[in-house]
Amino acid sequence: MIAHRDFIPPTIRFSFTLGLQTQPWQAAVEAAGEWIESEQIDVINIETVNFPVGQEDDTTIPVAVSDSFHRQFIRVWYRSR
């Protein structure tokens, strides 16, 4: 069976004037790498998901806003056991 897991840069704070502030992108990259290694994940593909804020999607998790116009996170597609 194929599954996916999303890795979102952790939120530092939210401000109506500054928007959503997150940790550096590298934090999400490192989290994905640690999970893949520690769980010995059979990776199919890794992608960066980046789309305009307000776009309809079926994502059921909160997503980080990389700037005032886009959402961005890492998605790992893998074979589940």
Q: pLDDT (tens digit, 9 = 90+) per residue, 3-23?
A: 999 998 877 777 666 666 778
Is the entire prediction scored with pTM above 0.85? no
DSSP characters over the chain: -EEEEEE-PPEEEEETTTEEEE--HHHHHHHHHHHHHHHT-EEEEEEEEEEETT------S---BSSSSEEEEEEEEEE--
pLDDT tens digits for 32-69?
A: 999 999 999 999 999 999 876 655 555 544 544 444 55
